Amino acid sequence: MSSVELLPALLVVVPILLATVPIALGLRYDRTGWSVTLATTVGLFAGTVYLATVVYGGSGTNQEVAVIHELGGFTAPMGIELVADTLSTMIALLVTGTALGVLAFTRVGGPRGNTFYSGYLLLVGGLLGLTMTGDVFNMFVFLEIVGLGSYALISSGRGPEAAVAALKYLIIGTVGASIYLIGVGFLFMATGSLNMLDLAATVPTLEGQNLQLARAAFAFIFVGFAIKVAQWPLHSWQPDAYQHAPDGVTPLIAALVSTVSAYALARLLFTVFGAEFIASTPYASEIIVTVGAVSVVAGSTLAVIQTDVKRMLAYSSVSQFGLIVAAYGLLTETALVGALIHLIGHGLMKAGLFIAVGIIAIGYGARTVDAYAGLAGERPFVAGSMAVLLIALVGIPPSIGFIGKWYIAVGAIEAQSWLVAGVIFLSTMLTLAYVARLLERMYFTPASALEAGHEDTATVGHAVTDGGTATVRGTRVTIGMLAIVIFVAALAVFLGFAGDAFFALLEPFVESADLEVSP
């Protein structure tokens, strides 16, 4: 087994093992969590980059370029595989990169404490496992690890709301994972296998009773993931979780947890079940498209009427993931590429946006849309970056948001799905509505107009900086925080020129998905 093939396993195992280190060191030292986590994530990122050079450097089909690790030397289909193919490597890059970037915020922005960083590493490890696993049951395990990490991190927020939000997430998330597990059970009954590639080979041959089982499995798995990906109306855990999680946690969860779940859904739909199965199952693609489309409309509408910025962005995620899910349901190559690009782009933009929200909360004391008044004048850099990211979220070129939407739109037109085409248009309009609301506050409403309401929050923030309430001692905006937001904003624009590159990188995976639409 060469060293490269060891990497997928290391990427999963190392963070989970190292998650214990901050706690262990915490017995003796006070503040080692951040350093340990930084070292780990740097290592993970470097490892992923190396993995990427190997995967994307190779030529051939998706299966040929993939780096596969067989855990414990047990060969598939009996053993568990970790697979880094063209798609999972890209998601792994997003995960490790974002995890590294968010650390720039948490060093000063908090939350602090060694337990927090243990949860952080656990979450990252779980996400990487979820990304690279090649086994449907193993996927459930990682789903639970991710869940545990998220519950822990969300509950580390101050106040009772965080605890309630975490509990809500815990219950609903577990329900979702359990439903997924039931689906896996049905699938195992139908095929006698848990390995994804083995399943992919077996599913098309199913007949009679077994086919019914597989269809039931599809229903359970899809609904389970609809919860995890936060599709309306199963999204209710998500806005609470995003809003009440600590500012340092929200970027990580918003950018990664739902994203990796949506990736896992794509993996299951296109690798395990396959486009042909979905197309031949009655109403399957219609269900996927409808759930996505409804989420887009409901999510954006709810986002428009929010007053809390974090909550608004949370509903925005509901709608953006709706777009991605709807694109899955189109079953065309272009739409799938668009969905995957939007998956990555949305993760990136939301990470940047939530970090910016954290910075603004620390530096300006603003959390509601109204309190953002006059922000541009007072905090030009963070307001500018946020504006760029918001505009990218609407999908105005050149930006990563535009490419994703563009490919999805092209795919919708190719598939002659005017419903999705209309929903994309509507979602752009509604996104524009809530983005414009925020931009208008930041840039065109003077702060003095709302001085009275603003003063309260400002003094609260002030009291905190003065050390009046000891929990967040010495919180301030650092250069590193600003730098990471500006970097993400620049990257979101820069990647707007990389549409062809994305297409080329993802092509092997999309081809392996074997969608019937040819051009």
Partner 1 sequence: MTEVDAVTAIYPPLLVFATALLVLVLPRIVGFALGAASLATVTVIAYVAPEGGHMTMTFLGFDVQPYLVDEYTRFVAIGLGFLGTFAVVYAYSSETSRAMAAFALAYVASAFGAVFAGDWLVLVFMWEIMAVTSTLLVWHFGGDAVRAGYRYALAHGIGGSLVLFGVIAHYAQAGTFLYGQGVGLEQAFITGGIATGIPAMLAVLGIGVNVAFIGFHTWLPDTYPRPHLAASVFLAAFTTKTSAYVLLRAFPDGHIWLAYMGGLMAVYGAGFALLQHDMRALLSYHIQAQLGYMVAGIGIGSAIGIAGAMGHLFNNVLYKSLLFMAVGVVIYRTRENDLYKLGGLWREMPLTALAFFIGALSITAVPGFSGFISKGMLFDAATGYFGGTEHWPLFVLLFIGGIGTFLSFIKLGFYVFFHGESDHEVRDAKTGQTTAMLSVGGACVVLGLPAVGWPLFTDLIPIIDGTQFTDPEGLQTLNPYSMGHLQDAALLLGISAIAFPIIRKPLSKLDFRDPATYVNPVGYRLGRWSMLAVTEVFAAVDRAAVSLVRTCYWVGNNPVRAVGSVATRVPDTVVESDAFETREGKSTSTLSLRATIGMTVLFVTVVLTSVLLLVL
- The two tokens of residue 493 are 């624009």
Q: Judged by CB, which is closer to partner 1: 107, or 437?
A: 437
Question: Residues 250-275, buried b or exposed e (16+ Cβ, 10 A)?
Answer: bbbbbbbbbbbbbbbbbbbbbbbbbb
Sign of the C-alpha dihedral computed for residues 127, 131, 135 and 137 taken in this order: positive
Q: Judged by CB, which is closer to partner 1: 230, or 488?
A: 230
Q: Judged by CB, which is closer to partner 1: 131, or 210?
A: 210
- The two tokens of residue 112 are 């602090």
Shortest separation between residue 226's beta carbon and partner 1, angstroms? 7
The whole-angstrom separation of Cα 18 and Cα 456 is: 42
Q: Judged by CB, which is closer to partner 1: 115, or 236?
A: 236
Query: Which positions lie near partner 1, rule CB under 8 A?
Result: 167-168, 171-172, 175-176, 179, 212, 215-216, 218-220, 222-223, 226-227, 233-234, 236-237, 239-240, 281-284, 286-287, 302, 304-307, 433, 436-437
Shortest separation between residue 240's beta carbon and partner 1, angstroms? 7
Q: Judged by CB, which is closer to partner 1: 80, or 234?
A: 234
Shortest separation between residue 436's beta carbon and partner 1, angstroms? 8
Q: Is the peptide bond before 246 cis (omega within 30 degrees of 0)?
A: no
Shortest separation between residue 298's beta carbon and partner 1, angstroms? 11
> Using the 8-state DSSP alphabet, how is residue 497 labeled?
G
Q: Judged by CB, which is closer to partner 1: 146, or 287?
A: 287
Contact 165, 249 (CB under 8 A): no
Shortest separation between residue 131's beta carbon and partner 1, angstroms? 25
Give the DSSP letter string of 60-113.
S-HHHH-EEEEGGGPPTTTS-EEEE-HHHHHHHHHHHHHHHHHHHHHHHHS--S
Classify 135 as helix, strand or coil: strand
Q: Judged by CB, which is closer to partner 1: 180, or 502?
A: 180
The whole-angstrom separation of Cα 401 and Cα 366 is: 26
The whole-angstrom separation of Cα 100 and Cα 92 is: 12
Shortest separation between residue 177's beta carbon and partner 1, angstroms? 12
Shortest separation between residue 54's beta carbon and partner 1, angstroms? 39
Q: Residue 284 corresponds to which amino acid? A: A
Contact 84, 112 (CB under 8 A): no
CA nearest to 298, candidates 391, 236, 227: 236
Q: Is the peptide bond before 111 cis (omega within 30 degrees of 0)?
A: yes
Q: Judged by CB, which is closer to partner 1: 179, or 360?
A: 179
Q: Residue 458 corresponds to which amino acid? A: A
Q: Judged by CB, which is closer to partner 1: 120, or 372?
A: 372
- The two tokens of residue 124 are 């990252």
Shortest separation between residue 237's beta carbon and partner 1, angstroms? 7
Shortest separation between residue 223's beta carbon and partner 1, angstroms? 5
Q: Judged by CB, which is closer to partner 1: 42, or 182?
A: 182
Q: Judged by CB, which is closer to partner 1: 164, or 490?
A: 164
Phi-psi region of 72 (alpha: psi -120 to 50; beta: other; left: phi over 0): left
Shortest separation between residue 92's beta carbon and partner 1, angstroms? 30
Classify 506 as helix, strand or coil: helix
Classify 308 as helix, strand or coil: strand
Contacts of 144-148 with C-beta under 8 Å, sequence gap 24+, read: 144/174, 144/177, 145/16, 146/257, 146/260, 147/173, 147/174, 147/177, 148/122
Q: Judged by CB, which is closer to partner 1: 87, or 284?
A: 284
Shortest separation between residue 281's beta carbon and partner 1, angstroms? 6
Shortest separation between residue 163's beta carbon and partner 1, angstroms? 13
CA nearest to 148, candidates 130, 166, 128: 166
